[in-house]
Structure 1
Amino acid sequence: MKPPEPPPSGRHAEVRIVAASPEAARRVAEAPRRCFAATEQRSYPAGSDGGTRLHLTVDTTHTAQPARSWPAASRSSEQDRTQTGEI
């Protein structure tokens, strides 16, 4: 049995993602990387099923860019919806 990993420092969090493909894991990892400064992600095989396990460390004290709530981030602006020739 593998000994437990020590917890990260108080300002960091370890994020582990398991997905069916490397591309799916990378897409999911984009969300925490948009919110927090993060280390380079590391990927590993995830068992005999052919999946991918992706690890990254995020710094919870430094945001990567201003955080916006999900509703605010998902709303398009009025300008984005207007097509040429529309009134």
Structure 2
Amino acid sequence: MHPVENEPLPQAGHAEIRIVAATPEAARAVAEVIRHAFAGTEQRGYPVPDGGTRLHLTVDTESAAEPVLSWLTTSRPSARTGTHVDEV
């Protein structure tokens, strides 16, 4: 069974973000950009079997910075929504 299937959903108004990168520095750079837009928890880092890094963040989508909050409230789902080939 895929590990995501066993994970509980985040509470309403929050989102779980997974960042996978070849280096810890690249993953931290992306996490830093996300933290400028959303309030969130401390990141949790894990090694990836092929030598990369995976960071997990929980963000509060209701405490987004104004430009992001405006985008979130007006955005529409894409017709191409769905999972990527490597997702469940």
Question: How does the TM-score come out when normalised to structure 2?
Answer: 0.67
For these two proteins, the number of residue pairs brought into alignment is 67
User: 1:57 corresponds to which letter in structure 2?
Assistant: T
RMSD over equivalenced CA pairs, Å: 1.9
Name the residue aligned to 1:54: 55
2:24 maps to which of 14, 22, 25: 22
Name the residue aligned to 1:38: 40
| Unpaired stretches in structure 2, ≥5 consecutive residues | 69-88
SS of alignment partner, residue 25 of structure 1:
helix
| Unpaired stretches in structure 1, ≥5 consecutive residues | 69-87
In 2: Cα distance, 1:52 partner to 1:34 partner: 21
User: 2:67 corresponds to which letter in structure 1?
Assistant: A
In 2: Cα distance, 1:14 partner to 1:46 partner: 18
User: 1:51 corresponds to which letter in structure 2?
Assistant: G
2:15 maps to which of 13, 24, 29: 13
Identity of matched residues, %: 62
> Radius of gyration: which is bigger?
1
Question: How does the TM-score come out when normalised to structure 1?
Answer: 0.68
Give 1:67 shift: 3.1
Give 1:31 shift: 1.8
SS of alignment partner, residue 34 of structure 1:
helix
User: 1:43 corresponds to which letter in structure 2?
Assistant: G
Counting only pairs closer than 5 Å after superposition, residues 76-87 of structure 1 correspond to structure 2 as none
